[in-house]
């Protein structure tokens, strides 16, 4: 599947109208089957369907490693996953459809569910220059955004370069793709930087905290609840990272100046 579609657009510019060719980001359905049962249908932007499926299962707590997966295959419009015997069965109602918006995030109960997530104890630090330099490079990684203006991007970095990159109409999907790819490739996401173009909501914060990612970097803003959770779970949240400026909202001890 293509990640964009060419369409005809009637464009008005400086009082003059005319038909032109333009591109919009693709939005496709992806059914996720677990042990022969349709668990959920996601709305996403191709490619990286398998990575998205694995990241989603991680976020939902259905798997903890790729060793929990007995079989994995891709079919048109769907991903089929077979789990190892003995793993807890999904409680998500069958045939649930998650949009590419905020409803596509992690399932948790606040505050009870948060108490099950370990506080990050890492002493890793990143220089402000490293964060800003990688952020500048991150903004140049998405040709799909340049063509359509309709996708979010996410990336994992060690502070010098990128270990994984993904884009999607949904910011939750983009982050899940990152974690799914790292899981499949054997990339350790702990003590790394998670870059995102979207706002840092409580769901994005929890996805990172559960994976042991200590620093989230965003061009956008955090929400109040995400900052409450970040303080509790000891995650550093930075926002409005643009040019040579950024706001460090929580645990600034990880950012050296």
Tens-place pLDDT, residues 113-167: 677 788 999 999 999 999 999 999 998 898 889 899 999 999 999 999 999 999 9
Provide the phi-psi class of 36: left if phi over 0, else alpha when psi is between -120 and 50, else beta.
left
Q: Give the residues across from 3 on adjacent strands.
A: none
Please pick, among 24, 80, 87, 102, the residue that the annotation labels catalytic: 102
| 8 Å CB contact between 177 and 154 | yes
Is 133 among the domain residues?
Answer: yes
Backbone torsions φ then ψ of 34, nearest 5 degrees: -120, 120
pTM of the model: 0.90
Is 176 among the domain residues?
Answer: yes
Tens-place pLDDT, residues 206-241: 999 999 999 999 999 999 999 999 999 999 999 999
Is 90 among the domain residues?
Answer: no
CATH number, domain at 178? Answer: 3.40.140.10
* Domain housing 234: 126-256
Residue 99 has pLDDT above 60, yes or no: no
Using CA atoms, how far apart are residues 237 and 208, in angstroms rounded to an integer? 11
Catalytic-residue membership of 102: yes
Residue 204 has pLDDT above 90, yes or no: yes
How many structural domains compose the chain? 1
Is 29 among the domain residues?
Answer: no
Residue 126, token pair as written in the block? 């990143």
Is 215 among the domain residues?
Answer: yes
Is 64 among the domain residues?
Answer: no
Is 223 among the domain residues?
Answer: yes
Is 166 among the domain residues?
Answer: yes
Q: Is residue 7 helix, strand or coil?
A: strand
Backbone torsions φ then ψ of 78, nearest 5 degrees: -165, 160
């Amino acid at each position: 599947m293509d990640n964009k579609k060419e369409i005809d657009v009637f464009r008005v510019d400086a009082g003059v109208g005319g038909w032109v060719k333009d591109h919009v980001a693709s939005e496709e359905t992806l059914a996720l089957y677990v042990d022969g049962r349709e668990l959920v249908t996601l709305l996403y932007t191709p490619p990286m369907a398998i990575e998205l499926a694995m990241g989603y299962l991680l976020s939902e707590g259905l798997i903890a490693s790729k060793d929990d997966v007995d079989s994995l295959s891709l079919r048109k419009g769907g991903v089929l996953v077979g789990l190892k015997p003995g793993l807890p069965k999904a409680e998500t109602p069958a045939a649930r459809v998650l949009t590419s918006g905020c409803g596509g995030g992690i399932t948790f109960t606040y505050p009870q569910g948060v108490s099950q997530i370990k506080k990050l104890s890492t002493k890793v630090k990143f220089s402000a220059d490293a964060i800003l330099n990688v952020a500048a490079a991150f903004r140049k990684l998405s040709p799909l955004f340049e063509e359509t203006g309709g996708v979010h991007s996410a990336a994992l970095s060690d502070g010098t370069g990128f270990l994984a990159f993904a884009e999607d109409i949904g910011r939750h999907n983009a982050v899940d793709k990152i974690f799914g790819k790292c899981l499949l490739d054997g990339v350790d996401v702990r003590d790394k930087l998670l870059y995102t173009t979207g706002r840092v909501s409580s769901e994005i914060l929890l996805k990172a905290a559960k994976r042991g990612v200590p620093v989230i970097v965003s061009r956008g803003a955090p929400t109040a609840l995400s900052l409450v959770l970040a303080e509790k779970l000891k995650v550093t949240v930075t926002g409005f990272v643009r040019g040579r400026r950024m706001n460090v909202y929580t645990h600034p001890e990880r950012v050296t100046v």
